Amino acid sequence: MPKPILPLAGVFAGALTVALSFATVSRAADPDPKNWDAVLDEAKGQTVYFNAWGGSENINSYIDWAGRMLKERFGVEVVHVKLDDTANAVATVLAEKAAGRDAGGSIDLIWINGENFASMKRQELLMAPDWTTSLPNWAYVDHENKPTILTDFTIPTDGLESPWGGAKMVFFYDSARTPADTVPHSSAELLAWAKENPGRFSYPQPPDFIGSSFLKQVLIETIDDPAKLLKPVNEASFEADVAPLFAYLDELHPNLWRSGKAYPQNYPDMKQKLADGELDIIFAFNPSEASAGIAAGELPDTVRSFTYTDGTLGNTHFVAIPYNAAHKAGALVLANFLISPEAQLRKQDPAVWGDPTVLAMDKLDAADRAAFEALDLGVATLKPDELGPALDEPHPDWMEHIEGEWLKRYGAAN
C-alpha cells in the first residue's frame, strides 16, 4: 500500500521538526568544558586533526611535542594537518556544511585569526560560543590587559576561539653587514632605505600572512584617517583610501629583491635569504623570531631586531573548533593544554619557538612565574619596553579588498 502524500505544508513542518531535533541533539552532544572530568573521559582514545600552518620546522616540532604530551597524559592522539594557507581549512568546513555534513567533520581544531576567523564566525562554522572561557586554564589568561584576546581584528571573539600566542611585527637585520644607525624606523624611511639599497628588501606575495601584514602596516601609516580601518570598507571611498598605499608600493617595487619580478615564498624563505646575504632587512610577527633562528643555527649571531618608532601591528593568534568537528572533546583538551603554563613557557623559549605568552604573570603560582622570569629570550630579542606601540589590525574586510587589488596590479609578476 503506497504511503499517503502529505500536504506540502506538512512536509515542510515535518522536515523542520526533524531539523530542529537534529540541531538539538547536535548541541546536546557538544562536550561541556564546565564538566572537565566528562570531557577528559570522552576525549580518551580520540584522534584530533589539528589544521595548522606547517611552514616552520620549529613550530612543527612544538606541535609534535604537544601531541606527545596529550597522548601520554590524556590518551589523545594529535595529527598535525600542515597548511600553507588557513583559508583552505575554512573552505573545507564551508564545503562540508554545504554538503550537509553537520557532524563528523574532517577538521577538529584550526590555528586561526583575522580574516579567517571573521569568515567562520560570519558563516556560523564554529562550535557554540563561550567554551573558551570555561576551559580550566582560562584562569591564567591575561584577557584583562591584552584586548586583542577578546577582539580579533576588530571582531569580538565571543568565546569562539581560544588564545594561543601573542604577535607583533618586528624587523631584523645582520649587524655585520648593516649598521644599526642606518635601519629605518617607519614605512617612509623603509622606502628611502630601499631606494638607497635596491634589491636588499622584499616581502612575500599576499595572501601569505606575513606579506599581507606588510601591506597592513603601510596602509595604517599612509591612509588619511586610520580610524576608517576599524570598520568595514566604504566602497564609495575605497579607491581614494588605498591610493596612498598603492602609490607607496609603486615606488617600492622596482627597488625590491629581483626588482619586484618575484617574491620570497614566506617568512622562512626570507630568513634563509637574510642568512645567505640576499636580503639585508626582513620582518616577522614574533619579537623572538631572530633569537629563535640564531638558537637553531638558521641565522648568524650578529642578527639584531628593530621596530618602528610610532608602532607596528600587534595581534593574538588563536585555535578554534569547527561546528561539525568529529572529536570536540579531544580538541578541547588540546586547546586547554596549549594555554597551560607549561606549554606557554616552552612556546616562549626562543630555542623552541619564541612565541610570546598570552598568560598573566600575576595569575601564575610562584614556581611558574619564576620559570618565565628565568627565560633567556635571546640576544636578538627586544625588551618589552623597546617594542613600541602595538597598532590595531584593520577590520578583515580591508584585506579582502586589498589582496584582490594587489593581485591585479602586481600578482602577474610572480
- When pLDDT is averaged across residues 308-314 and rounded to a whole number, the result is 94
222 and 358 share a domain? Answer: no
* 11: pLDDT strictly greater than 60: no
- When pLDDT is averaged across residues 337-357 and rounded to a whole number, the result is 93
Determine the pLDDT at residue 25: 37
- Count of domains forming the chain: 2
Determine the pLDDT at residue 147: 84
Q: What is the CATH number of the domain that holds 185?
A: 3.40.190.10
Q: Has residue 7 been placed in a domain? A: no
- When pLDDT is averaged across residues 366-373 and rounded to a whole number, the result is 95
Q: Are 36 and 330 in contact (CB under 8 A)?
A: no
Measured CA to CA in angstroms, residue 386 lies from 236, 312, 382 at distances of 39, 12, 6
Determine the pLDDT at residue 383: 83
Cα separation, 414 vs 412, in Å, equals 5
* 367: pLDDT strictly greater than 70: yes
83 and 117 share a domain? Answer: yes
Q: Has residue 239 been placed in a domain? A: yes
Cα separation, 124 vs 208, in Å, equals 25
Cα separation, 77 vs 63, in Å, equals 12
Q: Has residue 310 been placed in a domain? A: yes
254 and 395 share a domain? Answer: yes
Q: Which domain holds residue 409?
A: 170-314+389-413
Tens of pLDDT, residues 370-397: 999 999 989 999 987 788 888 889 998 9
130 and 218 share a domain? Answer: no
Task: Give the β-pairing of 170-174 and 155-156.
Answer: unpaired
90 and 190 share a domain? Answer: no
176 and 211 share a domain? Answer: yes
Max Cα distance, the chain (Å): 91
- When pLDDT is averaged across residues 337-352 and rounded to a whole number, the result is 94
Q: What is the DSSP string of 130-151?
A: TSGGGSGGGGGB-TTT-GGGTE
Secondary structure tally for the chain: helices H, strands E? 14, 11
198 and 289 share a domain? Answer: yes
Q: Has residue 41 been placed in a domain? A: yes
Determine the pLDDT at residue 185: 97
79 and 189 share a domain? Answer: no
Q: Has residue 24 been placed in a domain? A: no
- When pLDDT is averaged across residues 68-78 and rounded to a whole number, the result is 98
Determine the pLDDT at residue 125: 98
279 and 202 share a domain? Answer: yes
Determine the pLDDT at residue 296: 86
Tens of pLDDT, residues 174-211: 999 999 999 999 999 999 999 999 999 999 999 998 99
Q: Which residues neighbour 64 within 8 Å (Cβ) at sequence distance 6 or greater?
A: 80
Tens of pLDDT, residues 265-300: 999 999 999 999 999 999 999 898 999 899 889 999
247 and 280 share a domain? Answer: yes
Tens of pLDDT, residues 212-246: 999 999 999 999 999 999 999 999 999 999 999 99
Q: Has residue 378 been placed in a domain? A: yes
* 19: pLDDT strictly greater than 80: no
408 and 333 share a domain? Answer: no
The band of 110, judged by pLDDT with boundaries at 50, 70 and 90, is: very high
Q: Are 270 and 144 in contact (CB under 8 A)?
A: no
Q: Has residue 276 been placed in a domain? A: yes
In 3-state terms, what secondary structure has residue 50? strand
- Mean of the per-residue pLDDT values of the chain: 91
* 351: pLDDT strictly greater than 70: yes
* 412: pLDDT strictly greater than 70: no
Q: Has residue 283 been placed in a domain? A: yes
Tens of pLDDT, residues 129-179: 899 999 999 999 999 988 889 999 989 999 999 999 998 999 999 999 999
89 and 209 share a domain? Answer: no
